[in-house]
Amino acid sequence: MSPHLLSAVLIGGMVAGILDIGAAAAINRTGPLAILRVIASGLLGPKALKGGTLAAALGFLLQLAMSIVIAAIYGLASLWLPILATMWIATGLIYGVGIFVVMTYVVLPLSAAPSRPLPGIAKITKDLLAMLGFGLIIAYAVHQASF
C-alpha cells in the first residue's frame, strides 16, 4: 500500500467514523456519549450502557478501529479493482450498502451488545442512508489518493 493510499485509508476511515457517531446520535436522538457506550457494549455487554467516560472512550476507539479496517478493505480492494477508485460514487454507494448489511446482520448479532427490538422502516432507512454516506467518504478518500 502506497503512503498516499495509507493516508487515505486512515483519514477517510477516521472522518467516516467520527461523522457516523454524529449521524447515529442524530438518528437516535441522543448524545454522542450514549452512542459510544452502545458501541462499547458490543465488546463489554450491557454493563457498558451504564458506564461512564471509560466506556465511551472504549467505544470511540472501537469505532475508529472498525472504521479504519472498513476503509482499509476498500483501499486494498482498489489495488485489484481500480474501478473502485475511478467510479468512486457508484462503488462507494454499493460499499455503503454492504457495510450496512454486514454491520446490521452479522457484526451486531455476534456482538455482546444487548438485543434490541426490530427497528421500523424509518430507522432502517436512516441507518442505511448513514452507511451510504460512510461508503462515499471512504471511496472519495481512496479516489483522491489514486490521482
DSSP secondary structure string for all residues of 50-64: G--HHHHHHHHHHHH
Residue 66 located in a structural domain? yes
CA distance 15 to 23: 12
Tell me the average pLDDT across 26-39.
97
pLDDT tens per residue across span 80-125? 999 999 999 999 999 999 999 999 999 999 999 998 888 899 999 9
pLDDT of 96: 97
Domain that holds residue 74: 3-29+60-146
CA distance 106 to 113: 13
Domains: count for the chain:
1
Cell readout for 74 is: 476498500
Residue 55 located in a structural domain? no
pLDDT of 1: 78
142 close to 42: Cβ distance less than 8 angstroms: no
Residue 126 located in a structural domain? yes
CA distance 48 to 128: 25
Tell me the average pLDDT across 13-29.
98
pLDDT at position 147 over 80: no
Residue 34 located in a structural domain? no
Residue 37 located in a structural domain? no
pLDDT of 128: 96
pLDDT of 117: 87
| Reported pTM | 0.94
Residue 72 located in a structural domain? yes
Half-sphere exposure of 85 (CA within 13 A, CB side): 20
70 close to 108: Cβ distance less than 8 angstroms: no
What is the CB neighbour count within 10 angstroms for residue 66?
Answer: 18
Confidence of residue 135 (pLDDT cuts 50, 70, 90): very high
Residues of the chain with pLDDT > 70, as a percent, come to 100
CA distance 135 to 102: 13
Q: What is the average pLDDT score of the chain?
A: 96
Tell me the average pLDDT across 59-73.
98
Residues of the chain with pLDDT > 90, as a percent, come to 95
What is the CB neighbour count within 10 angstroms for residue 51?
Answer: 18
